[in-house]
Amino acid sequence: MKKSNVKKLNDIIDCDVHPHPSDYNVIKSYMSEPWRSRFNGNGKRGIYDNPIHVNRLDSVTPHGGYPCSDPSYMREQLLDEYGINYAILLPRAFATKYPSPDFATVVASAFNDWLADVWLDNNNEDGRCKGSITVAHQDPQAAAKEIDRWAGHPHMVQVMMDSGARAPFGQRQYYPIYEACERNGFPIALHPGTEGVGPNEIMTPGYPTTYIEWHTGLMLSFQAHLISFITEGVFERFPGLKLVLVEGGSAWLPPLLWRLDAEWKPLREEVPWVKKRPSEYILEHVRITSQPLENPDNREHLLQMFEMMDAKNILMFSSDYPHWDFDSPTRSFPKLPEELKKRIFFENARALYNLD
């Protein structure tokens, strides 16, 4: 890593930072016709809007621009403020909300071109910003080609897609995406978004009434997808595949795995391709980011939950900058044992993304 302007790097990798275009016309500039004329901006990510504000009020750029649209200001406010070594960037294209797979593929591709141009190839002399390749899972074959297109880029470190989908992600129609990830050495990251939007199912029994109900239940789709990944045998078919669950919380993981292990023991003849206890696949194949961090009244309970989920080996720090529920690396966590802190804040992500 080249020398940084920050005085001290604190061995922190932020696994969830959301860059945003300064204007959606910028994204249109990376499209050809007829798609350019059809793209009218990203619009709402869904049908539930935060009734107050979606971003930190102090994250608006000095010139009044959209939060996290200026690489220099993001560095000043996030990377340099906390001494963060690397930021894993996850743009929010919401490409999977479009019923047309062709249009969705073009939107994802344009966001990838913009991310590389503005955030990775430029304004990134020290290499502290690392990118995620957005794919639209409506067309898995096209998504695989998009992954191959970016495979040689020095700052692309993972593939990402919205968790909103027509079917659970363990099903075989998605295999071309996982094959391309494994072939190119990329983890696949799921991020909440587009559930119940466009062609996608919502992961609750009907549509919630309020934003608070919808936002609290974001982890439900992650649980459904994770169960599907395991019971469909994805990790047996693609033994090199790594899965990252981003921004869906983490405290739900231990009881889910207890139940899944208990179900698998008497029912494993139904899924003979699941060759070991479901929980055993987690350490080898799954990583989960910390934000939004669950904060019980008794902070010791969170430490107990970390132990139950094997956080030392699977949990990775994330801030969700610049969103309203931002988790600070210095204020959001209880006091951690030094080795656990090092693993969560730095070592687990460093190993996953092959960073120096």
| CATH number of the domain bearing residue 285 | 3.20.20.140
Q: Average the pLDDT over 236-259 and give the result.
A: 97
- Per DSSP, the three-state class of 100 is coil
The angle formed by the CA atoms of residues 15, 18 and 21, to the nearest 5 degrees, is 150
Domain that holds residue 272: 14-353
pLDDT band, residue 42 (cuts 50/70/90)? low
Q: Which amino acid is at 101?
A: P
Measured distance CA(352)–CA(187) in Å, rounded: 8
pLDDT band, residue 1 (cuts 50/70/90)? very low
- Please indicate, yes or no, if residue 1 is contained in any of the structural domains: no
How many domains does the chain fold into? 1
Q: Which amino acid is at 295?
A: N
- Please indicate, yes or no, if residue 265 is contained in any of the structural domains: yes
pTM assigned to the model: 0.95
As a 3-state breakdown, the chain gives helix, strand, coil percent values, each rounded to 5, of: 40, 10, 45
- Please indicate, yes or no, if residue 172 is contained in any of the structural domains: yes
- Please indicate, yes or no, if residue 5 is contained in any of the structural domains: no
- Please indicate, yes or no, if residue 4 is contained in any of the structural domains: no
User: What b/e sequence results for 228-262 when a residue is b if at least 16 CB atoms lie within 10 Å of its CB, and e otherwise?
Assistant: bbbbbbbbeebeebbbbbbbbbbbbbbebbeebee
Instruction: Compute and round to an integer the Cα radius of gyration of the chain.
Output: 19
Q: How many helices (H) and strands (E) does the chain have?
A: 16, 8
pLDDT band, residue 173 (cuts 50/70/90)? very high
- Please indicate, yes or no, if residue 111 is contained in any of the structural domains: yes
Residue 124 has pLDDT above 60, yes or no: yes
- Please indicate, yes or no, if residue 27 is contained in any of the structural domains: yes
- Please indicate, yes or no, if residue 55 is contained in any of the structural domains: yes
